[in-house]
C-alpha cells in the first residue's frame, strides 16, 4: 500500500503542475463485508477497509470510520458530507467512474440535508449507521460551519454542470477506472475542467501496474508492478489450453497479446488471472501493457472466440447509424444460453448466434428509442463483427453461425441486474463491474423478463 501511494503521488506531482500533495483527497467508498477463515485469516475484497488500517486513511476528507460503512446510500451521504465541508480538495478517487456518476446523482437529490448538517455540525438522523461510527463522525463534524453551508447551497442550486470545480476550485484530477465508458460524460458534466484518468491497473488479486502518463488522452498503458508481483505470460492463441507454455517478463514482444499469470506474496502461485493484455512498449526494460478483455467475456459458439474489443467496436459502429440514441448499457451472450433460459424463445427458429441486450439513455417512451428497427440494427452489428473477426467470418460464410439478434430492454434493467449480482455473489458495491457477457441462466432470464 505504501509503495502504491508513494508512486501515485510522484506521478501526480510530475504531471499536474498545481497538484498539492498535502491537500486532502475525496474518496468515494462503500466497504465490503470482511470475514475470517477457520484459521483466522482475513477474507475480503481487495478494496475492503479493515479497522486495522484506519490510521492510513488520514489523507482523505472523510474520517477513517466513514470507510467502514457497508450501505452504499449511507456511504454516499457521509463521503459527500465531509467532502463538502472542505474548500480545498486536490483530487477525487473511486474504483470506477460509475461510482462517481452515481454519487453525484445522489448529491443532486440530497444536498439540502447535507447543507443543514454542515451548518449545524450534525449527521442526518435517517442514516442507518452503527452507533459507534455515528458517534465518531458526529464528533468530527465539529460545531458547524454556516458560511461553508451557504457556499455549498449556492453552488448546488446552480445545478450540476461543472459543480466539482465550483465546489472545490483546487480539484486537479479524478482517478477511476472507466469501466463502462463514462469518462467523457464526467468531463462534460460534473467534472468540467478536471482530468479523469485511471492511475492504477489492479484487482482483488494484485496491483498489476501504474499509469505513468495520466495526461495521455483516451489511451491508458500501465507499467507492470514487478516489485510485488511475478508475472508470466500466455500467448493469446493458447489461452484455452490446460497447460500452455508461459513466457517471462524479458521474453514478451511489443504488439503481442497475452493472458497474465501472477504469483504474489499472499498465497496465489502461478494464478491464471484471466485478463488479456497487449504489450505496448517498455519503460526501463519493464513492459508497458494495455488491458484488452477478460477471457471469461469471450463469445464462443464453435471456437471462434470473439472478444469484447470486437464486440464493443462493432456495437459502437452500428449505433453510429442511428441518430438521437445513446447506449447506456449492453450485455451479450450466446443463443444457447437464451434457449436454456427460456424454452419458448423464438431464437430456436434460427441457428446458433449472438444475442445483444441493449438499454438506451432516456425514457422507454422516447420516440428515438421506440423507432429503432432491431432487425436492421442486428444486421449492422453482424456486418461489423463479420468485417472485424476472421474466424467469425468463416463460420458465418458456412452458415454455422447465424446473424445476431438484438433486444431492447426497459430503463433500469441493468440496475436490476446489478442488484441481482450483488445479492447473489460476493461482489462488493464499489468493485462491481456490469457484466458484458451473461454467463448464467438466471441473469439471462432477468433480461428476457424486461424486454421493451
**CA separation for the pair 99, 72 (Å, rounded):** 10
pLDDT band at 302 (very low <50, low <70, confident <90, very high): confident
Decide if pLDDT at 363 tops 80: no
Decide if pLDDT at 1 tops 70: no
Q: Tell me the mean pLDDT in the region 358-386.
A: 88
- Percent of the residues in the chain that have a pLDDT greater than 90, as a whole number: 54
Kindly list the distances between the CA atom of residue 173 and the CA atoms of 16, 225, 265, in Å, as whole numbers in the listed order: 8, 23, 31
| pTM, two decimal places | 0.76
Identify the pLDDT of residue 51.
65
Environment class of 192 (CB within 10 Å of its CB; exposed 0-12, middle 13-18, buried 19+): middle
Identify the pLDDT of residue 58.
82
Decide if pLDDT at 62 tops 90: yes
pLDDT for 136-187, tens place per residue?
A: 999 999 999 999 999 999 999 999 999 999 999 999 889 888 866 788 888 9
Which helix (H) or strand (E) is 92 found in, with range? strand 89-96
Q: Tell me the mean pLDDT in the region 271-295.
A: 92
- DSSP class per residue in 285-336: TEEEEEEEEEGGG-B-SSS--B-HHHHHHHHHHHHTTSTT--EEEEEEEEHH
Identify the pLDDT of residue 3.
65
Q: Which of 25-29, 57-61, 73-77, 166-170 has the lowest mean pLDDT?
A: 57-61
Are 123 and 141 in contact by the 8 Å Cβ rule? The answer is yes
Identify the pLDDT of residue 343.
66
Find, among 136, 110, 107, the residue nearest to 124 by Cα: 110
Identify the pLDDT of residue 217.
65
Q: Tell me the mean pLDDT in the region 6-10.
A: 76
Identify the pLDDT of residue 82.
98
Identify the pLDDT of residue 407.
95
- Percent of the residues in the chain that have a pLDDT greater than 70, as a whole number: 94
pLDDT for 219-233, tens place per residue?
A: 789 999 998 999 999
Decide if pLDDT at 19 tops 80: no
Identify the pLDDT of residue 266.
78
Are 49 and 42 in contact by the 8 Å Cβ rule? The answer is no
Decide if pLDDT at 426 tops 80: no
pLDDT for 176-219, tens place per residue?
A: 888 667 888 889 999 999 988 888 888 878 889 999 887 776 67
Q: Which of 34-38, 205-209, 252-256, 412-416 has the lowest mean pLDDT?
A: 34-38
Which helix (H) or strand (E) is 43 found in, with range? strand 42-43
Tally of CB atoms within 10 A around 305: 18
**CA separation for the pair 79, 102 (Å, rounded):** 13
Amino acid at each position: 500500500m505504501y509503495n502504491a501511494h508513494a508512486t501515485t503521488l510522484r506521478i501526480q506531482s510530475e504531471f499536474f503542475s498545481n497538484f498539492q500533495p498535502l491537500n486532502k483527497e475525496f474518496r468515494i467508498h462503500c466497504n465490503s463485508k470482511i470475514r475470517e477463515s477457520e484459521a483466522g485469516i482475513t477474507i475480503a475484497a481487495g478494496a475492503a477497509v479493515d479497522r486495522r488500517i484506519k490510521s492510513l486513511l488520514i489523507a482523505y476528507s472523510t474520517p477513517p470510520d466513514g470507510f467502514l460503512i457497508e450501505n452504499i446510500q449511507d456511504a454516499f451521504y457521509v463521503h459527500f458530507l465531509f467532502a463538502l465541508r472542505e474548500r480545498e480538495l486536490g483530487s477525487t478517487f473511486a474504483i470506477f467512474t460509475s461510482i462517481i456518476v452515481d454519487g453525484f446523482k445522489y448529491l443532486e437529490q440530497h444536498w439540502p440535508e447535507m447543507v443543514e448538517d454542515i451548518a449545524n455540525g450534525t449527521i442526518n438522523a435517517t442514516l442507518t449507521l452503527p452507533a459507534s461510527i455515528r458517534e465518531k463522525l458526529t464528533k468530527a463534524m465539529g460545531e458547524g460551519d454556516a458560511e461553508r453551508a451557504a457556499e455549498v447551497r449556492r453552488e448546488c442550486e446552480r445545478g450540476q454542470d461543472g459543480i466539482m470545480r465550483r465546489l472545490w476550485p483546487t480539484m486537479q484530477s479524478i482517478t477511476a477506472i472507466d469501466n463502462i465508458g463514462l469518462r467523457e460524460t464526467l468531463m462534460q458534466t460534473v467534472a468540467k475542467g478536471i482530468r479523469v484518468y485511471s492511475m492504477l491497473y489492479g484487482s482483488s488479486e494484485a496491483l498489476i501496474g501504474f499509469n505513468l502518463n495520466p495526461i495521455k488522452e483516451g489511451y491508458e498503458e500501465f507499467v507492470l508492478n514487478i516489485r510485488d508481483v511475478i508475472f508470466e505470460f500466455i500467448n493469446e492463441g493458447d489461452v484455452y489450453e490446460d497447460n500452455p507454455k508461459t513466457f517471462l517478463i524479458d521474453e514478451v514482444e511489443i504488439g503481442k497479446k497475452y493472458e497474465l499469470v501472477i504469483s504474489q506474496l499472499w498465497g496465489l502461485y502461478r494464478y491464471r488471472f484471466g485478463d488479456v493484455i497487449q504489450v505496448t512498449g517498455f519503460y526501463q526494460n519493464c513492459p508497458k501493457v494495455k488491458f484488452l478483455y477478460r477471457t471469461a467475456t469471450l463469445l464462443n459458439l464453435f471456437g471462434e472466440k470473439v472478444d469484447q474489443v470486437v464486440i464493443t467496436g462493432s456495437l459502437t459502429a452500428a449505433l453510429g447509424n442511428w441518430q438521437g440514441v445513446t447506449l447506456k448499457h449492453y450485455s451479450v451472450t450466446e443463443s444457447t444460453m437464451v434457449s436454456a433460459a427460456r424454452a419458448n424463445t423464438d431464437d430456436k427458429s434460427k441457428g446458433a448466434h449472438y444475442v445483444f441486450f441493449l438499454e438506451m439513455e432516456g425514457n422507454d417512451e422516447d420516440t428515438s428509442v421506440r423507432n429503432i428497427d432491431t432487425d436492421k440494427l442486428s444486421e449492422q452489428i453482424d456486418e461489423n463483427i463479420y468485417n472485424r473477426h476472421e474466424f467469425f467470418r468463416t463460420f458465418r460464410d458456412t452458415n454455422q453461425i447465424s446473424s445476431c439478434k438484438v433486444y431492447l430492454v426497459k430503463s433500469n434493467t441493468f440496475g436490476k441486474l446489478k442488484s441481482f449480482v450483488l445479492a447473489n455473489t460476493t461482489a462488493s458495491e464499489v468493485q462491481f463491474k456490469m457484466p458484458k457477457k451473461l454467463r448464467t441462466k438466471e441473469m439471462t432470464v432477468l433480461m428476457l423478463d424486461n424486454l421493451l
